[in-house]
Structure 1
Amino acid sequence: MLNLPPRISSRLNSSQFANLHTFLVAARHLSFARAAQELCLTASAVNHRISRLEAALDMKLFQRLTRQVCLTDEGERIFEILQHAMGELSEALEQSSQADIAGSLAIYVRPSIAQCWLVPRLAEFVERYPLVALDLRVGNDNVDFRTRKIDLALYYANGEFPGLVSQRLMRERMAPVCSPEYARRHRLQENPQNLKHCTLLHDSLAWDHAAFDAEWTLWAEQHNLLAALPERSLTFDRSDLSVTAAMNHVGIAIGRQQLVQKRVDSGELVLPLADFSRSGHYDYYLVHPPLGTVPKRLQVFMNWLRECARQSAPQDEHEDGA
């Protein structure tokens, strides 16, 4: 349900629903120009609609910078409410005609998110939509939708996908992880500077065009520990492999919360230096080429992914509206 406060909902008349839809598209792209292309409007018309919506809601939804726009905290909150409401509406409409949902879907996913997050959840989707045949493919490259028959990609990225339709599925947070034995051996919880005596485990392909040590560098800069990073390291081309090495006492890896939380809860991994936190602007995105009409089987799969994402979101993320 679209649970807006009474002071806001009372200001939404029928003319504002077109502006809400414009806001939803612009927020998904984080670009008035791309939203204008999708809506067959001019960028100035998109800006005008959103300005009228901001005036009606009495809140600023976007920060308009020189060459880009970004959501304000209020804009982020309204965007996620709208996404949730539209997802529930789409699912309700699709369920009424589930007999029409059939066919194959080719899904392209980064290996680590496939292994640690998506595949363990697939039994529920298969039971709910038995006539949809999923063809799951994994890889570290960005797929070329023009040459490969892929319906949907799931990426860990910064949200920039020129010429494609994208929407953030869920946020990610990160923290160094290692085995309890490794943390004790190096006394990491007593003195974070002991990190300099450890072996760093890297995912060298964390995101598109990332340096091999990008995740560690990003985390260390935010925690003022760049000087403590050791030179000793092992490099993998998958996050889950670096984490598996950490579980087996090889060293310390950057763990992405969506992928390692169960291991932390079970005690196989510990957070010896800091709790999970936002680092940069890298999240999980659903990406597909522009479509005149989204096939029902693809729509229900994306709705199901959003449902899974809401269920797996950390509790404090629910509480602060992140």
Structure 2
Amino acid sequence: MGKLSRELGSGLNSSQFANLYSFQAAARHLSFARAAQELCLTPSAVSHRIARLEQGLGFRLFQRLPRQLRLTEEGERIFLILQGALDELREALQPTPGSEIGGRLAIHAPPSLAACWLVPRLAGFTVRHPALTLDLRVGNGGVDFRTQSIDLALYYGQGEFPGLVAERWMDERIAPVCSRRYAQQHGLLQRAEQLRQCTLLHDTLAWDNAAFDAEWAYWARQRGVELPDHHLSFDRSDLCVLAAASHAGVAIGRYRLVRERLASGELLLPFGEAWLPAPSAYYLVHPARDSLPGRVQAFIDWLRECAA
């Protein structure tokens, strides 16, 4: 809590702690009404608490716009420091010094990564840290760390995460995959030109702002292959792969997500080991903090080991 005290100086005293907590809720929601609902207060009470906090500090925390709240530069700085201080406090409230890392750990991941890579490995993490309660949330959209109670997000993307700390954690490579039956029916084995007669399976949300056919277009440019117009579209890579395994067409397989299906023979690489470095990679993303809570650092360390 030392950095928070230094930032707030004499403006922080015992009478201001309730106001500070109200500010934290309002900053997360960017709404006095939603903060009031969380705190079981009226919006007017929340507004008055924050006004008293601003008066004590001597600067504005919010820009009050018509039907909108926006943090000032000072408010954003104080909010981030306060979030870090609360994490430190949660760590300090562990039962005893040197005890097992415990508590709730909330992780966000894309559905395909969660289903095909992360969940099958989670038993190893729970054995290592039995006192941790893991809460895994999946979704294609980005996380708003201010309003969502998420500790760490795993993203597949191109490394653009403004205002957040991002670590490139795991690389990827891609290649077409299909079932053996589909490859034989369409004469695909070692004959990429036969793709013109096939159905392509597209992950339309491969990464943020990607075109619906981004992965196939990238692979085709690199290989000089003409692609057909006939396709089926999904919003998840694992659904593309499932459709391919069910003889519906040819999908772009991400090695990290399809290698078990390749090893079992459920899928094959019709054009041999035609892997290309993917245009995206996997990132670990979280808000900036002086130091990460122990539970988050433990999960990151485990993820690095798995990736290696």
State TM-score, norm by structure 1. Answer: 0.64
The structural deviation recorded for 1:274 is 4.3
Contact kept in structure 2, 1:174 and 1:278, CA below 8 Å:
yes
Give the structure 2 partner of residue 90 of structure 1: none
Task: Give 1:242's match in structure 2, choosing from 229, 240, 243.
Answer: 240
Q: Which amino acid aligns with 1:259?
A: L
Q: Gapped runs of 5+ residues in structure 2?
A: 1-96
Deviation (angstroms), 1:275: 1.9
CA distance in 2, matches of 1:259, 1:306: 17
Structure 2 residue 169 is the aligned partner of structure 1 residue 169: yes
Corresponding residue SS for 2:159: coil
Match of 1:209 in 2: 209
Structure 1 280/121 Cα, relative in aligned 2: closer, same or farther at 3 Å? closer
Distance in structure 2 (CA, Å) of the matches to 1:116 and 1:98? 34
Query: How far does residue 277 in structure 1 lie from its aligned partner after superposition?
Result: 2.7
1:294 is paired with a residue whose SS is: coil
Given the alignment, which residue of 290, 293, 296 partners 1:295? 293
Identity %: 58
Mapping 1:105-116, distance limit 5 Å: 105-116=105-116
Q: 1:264 aligns with which of 241, 262, 265?
A: 262
Q: 3-state SS of the aligned residue for 1:206?
A: coil
1:212/1:289 Cα in 2 relative to 1: closer, same or farther (>3 Å)? same
Per-residue deviation at 1:261? 0.5
Alignment map for 1:99-248 (pairs within 5 Å): 99-225=99-225, 228-248=226-246
Structure number with larger C-alpha Rg: 2
RMSD of aligned alpha carbons: 1.2
Higher mean Cα deviation, 277-286 or 287-296? 277-286
CA drift of 1:273 comes to 2.1
Query: For residue 275 of structure 2, what is the aligned residue in structure 1?
Result: 277
Distance, in Å, in 2 between the alignment partners of 1:172 and 1:278 is 9
8 Å CA contact retained: 2:195, 2:228: yes
Any conservation in 1 of the 2:100–2:129 contact (CA below 8 Å)?
Answer: no
Letter in 2 for 1:215: E
CA distance in structure 2 between the aligned counterparts of 1:169 and 1:245, rounded to whole angstroms: 28
- Give the superposition deviation at 1:276: 4.8
Q: Closer, same or farther in 2 for the Cα pair 1:98/1:198, shift >3 Å?
A: farther
Q: Distance in 2 between matches of 1:156 and 1:112?
A: 10
Deviates further, 107-116 or 158-167: 158-167
Count of equivalent residues: 212
Contact 1:222–1:279 (8 Å) recurs in 2? no
Match of 2:305 in 1: 307
Helix, strand or coil for the counterpart of 1:99?
coil
What code does the residue aligned with 1:115 have? Answer: A
